[in-house]
Structure 1
């Protein structure tokens, strides 16, 4: 969990921009609910490396005190510090990349006190198009980071090219599964053209929230505490182009799918509404649950109505509880009935808690029914997601039985 400069500021960053964000994490209470990384994205670089040593240099105008000084200041706030580079000759913003300079860059990052590296995929010199090529390129930096002896979270950002979920778990902590997110909720933007990630040759950018969810849906089995994490890209909450319900849905689904929760808004100019969304402790707890299993999409339509209108997701938690989310991806108010038996839940009855309304969601069950019947009647606004935490009423008995074995 943390914050990254790119979604809001792009290349318009400076020492003041980054330090102000770090201070805001503390002053707004975000640090207190788990946000700990402050990450500089692209464009921190000087025009070139050092002519003699070839070490990476920071832009002397944007970062006059240097990266090490900035890292020390962020660490003094009890936070961790991240940086960006690229597994190519240049970064996506046209600065120098790390391809061929992995050892010296990793060593420098460790000396600066870096705790997190986002590693991009632009200008990769043709070293992609197969899992072997991509693996070798990203493994080179993984090995260089390991040699430094400093624990640095390694976040691969190759947009899902060459299916990193199948090979990155052995070398990285997380991997991007799609092209860059854009501050829109739904739609298939022409700049984000791929229907099937496995056959994609142009991953693009300006990807909507629902587009990324479609790509993430079949990948839940690849992620977990030992394997690593599917990264659905940084959060857009608070950047202004989506509605309240859309941002709630965005934040909820990123949390349920165990994607890293990396904020991308201006932390120094947040509305109360934005802050209330990104500090929902119950939703954050789902994301940070020790079991670490991403939710599964049970189905994308209910009773065959308006294919894609409703998405139903179910996840398991370390406590034995379940988390259930229902998303209305249509642009209109929608009412439907969800039969309890359709969910295939392992227990007969549950007590439910609504994680956004923050209230008792009722008593659900095949034996006792929901409001007297075995079904849930849903009334959802356009692009609204409702999320419940379900506790099996017979969980206490089950735990006692397990303890007695």
Structure 2
């Protein structure tokens, strides 16, 4: 369903001219580290979305300690709106689901020390809600309304976009309209573009947004092929690309690291599936670690009301979260690869280097990370700390080896010289 693209020189020049004319001051919120929070979609879709769920989730984020770890954005995804007021044209929250109204709900979220997120689409309607629920052509009106509710975060989807895609310029201009509208409200609002990687947003979204989705929708699967996610390279996902496995999304993001930083924004690998059925505990930990070191926003997608101890332990792994929130903000990159069976990812931190040994295979594997591949030398001796176990495990010179990394598992360590 995705349009083929031919990048003619004249078009590339035009796009570059248009995009370069947008200054950093036109982003609706200052650049900062990857967002952390919770979103309703992965667990609930359009089901059970109501005021009680959101209030309960806000309370649990605090009582569970996850808010203290950094998960502060609480976002209501699709299906919150029943349409528009026929007199004012304002979006209306479904009165059956949200009888107290969005301003009241936002006040509760803020009272818990959290930030309030909302969802819309850069189209005439959102992906799953009634007609006329999208914000295309109504950007200023909707942004003003959300600001009056106290909204701090906007997830902005790509459905029903009236064909306004197919080139970087078209997508940039459509999403820029909302960036300008958010900026005009005077309220800092984190702008999360969700256009599924269509028209290569990593090349232009840094001028207007804080993060940008790089792929179709995630699914709770390690690597099970999905008939709805056939795309295997960055930029080819389109409407209907859903249930993308973890390894599919990882592969599409390899090579996009130069486009992400604290001064640019972040490649969004989609919401986390940790705590949702479909993967083993080891696979969920690997998923979490890879998203963290690639500097993707960490947005929880599980039902916090039924969260078990293993899920909470993964999500609250402070030393892994600290890598995601490292002020240097450099995403880990693939530095060693053995036929997509075993891989090593590494990147610099303000106080060392993070290294991830990934075994994608179905049998245990010996993996060695060579220091000269990660920015050190073959004679460097480094202290090694296991960030998952929160344990200093000695020193290593020239390389670091684990004799048996379990299937679909990771080892994450910090090296300090």
Contact 2:39/2:301 (<8 A) preserved = yes
Contact 1:81/1:116 (<8 A) preserved = yes
Matched, 1:57 2:82: no
- Which residue number corresponds to residue 394 of structure 2? 362
- Which residue number corresponds to residue 309 of structure 1? 341
The CA distance in 1 between the partners of 2:372 and 2:177, in whole Å, is 49
Matched, 1:325 2:356: yes
Quote the RMSD (CA, aligned, Å). Answer: 1.4
Q: Is the alpha carbon distance of 1:324 and 1:337 closer, same or farther for their aligned partners in structure 2, counting shifts above 3 Å?
A: closer
| Residue ranges of structure 2 left out of the alignment (5+ in a row) | 1-35
The CA distance in 1 between the partners of 2:302 and 2:142, in whole Å, is 28
Matched, 1:73 2:98: no
1:358-381 per-residue CA deviation (whole Å, 9 max, x = no partner) reads 222221113xxxxxxx55243111
SS, match of residue 57 in structure 1 = strand
The CA distance in 1 between the partners of 2:208 and 2:110, in whole Å, is 26
Q: Is the alpha carbon distance of 1:380 and 1:40 closer, same or farther for their aligned partners in structure 2, counting shifts above 3 Å?
A: same
Q: Is the alpha carbon distance of 1:341 and 1:209 closer, same or farther for their aligned partners in structure 2, counting shifts above 3 Å?
A: same
Contact 2:361/2:407 (<8 A) preserved = yes
- Which residue number corresponds to residue 263 of structure 2? 226
Contact 1:256/1:295 (<8 A) preserved = yes
Contact 1:338/1:378 (<8 A) preserved = no
- Which residue number corresponds to residue 127 of structure 1? 164
1:155-182 per-residue CA deviation (whole Å, 9 max, x = no partner) reads 0000000000000000000000000000
Which of 23, 29, 50 lines up with 2:59 in the alignment?
Answer: 23
SS, match of residue 225 in structure 1 = coil
Matched, 1:380 2:405: yes
Q: TM-score, normalised by structure 1?
A: 0.91
Matched, 1:297 2:334: yes
Contact 1:186/1:329 (<8 A) preserved = no
1:177-234 per-residue CA deviation (whole Å, 9 max, x = no partner) reads 0000000011332211112224555671110111111011100000000100000000
SS, match of residue 165 in structure 1 = helix
1:1-400 alignment, distance < 5 Å: 1-12=36-47, 13-46=49-82, 48-95=83-130, 96-199=133-236, 204-301=241-338, 307-319=339-351, 321-346=352-377, 348-366=380-398, 376-392=401-417
Structure 1 residue 91: Cα displacement: 0.7
The CA distance in 1 between the partners of 2:364 and 2:269, in whole Å, is 27
The CA distance in 1 between the partners of 2:402 and 2:414, in whole Å, is 17
Q: Which has the higher contact order (CA 8 A, sep 6+)?
A: 2
| Residue ranges of structure 1 left out of the alignment (5+ in a row) | 302-306, 367-373, 393-405
Bigger mean CA deviation after superposition, 354-363 or 236-245: 354-363
Structure 1 residue 94: Cα displacement: 3.1
Contact 1:313/1:325 (<8 A) preserved = yes
SS, match of residue 416 in structure 2 = strand
Contact 1:187/1:211 (<8 A) preserved = no
SS, match of residue 93 in structure 2 = coil
SS, match of residue 268 in structure 1 = helix
Structure 1 residue 337: Cα displacement: 4.3
Q: TM-score, normalised by structure 2?
A: 0.88
The CA distance in 2 between the partners of 1:51 and 1:343, in whole Å, is 59
Q: Is the alpha carbon distance of 1:120 and 1:290 closer, same or farther for their aligned partners in structure 2, counting shifts above 3 Å?
A: same
Structure 1 residue 130: Cα displacement: 0.5
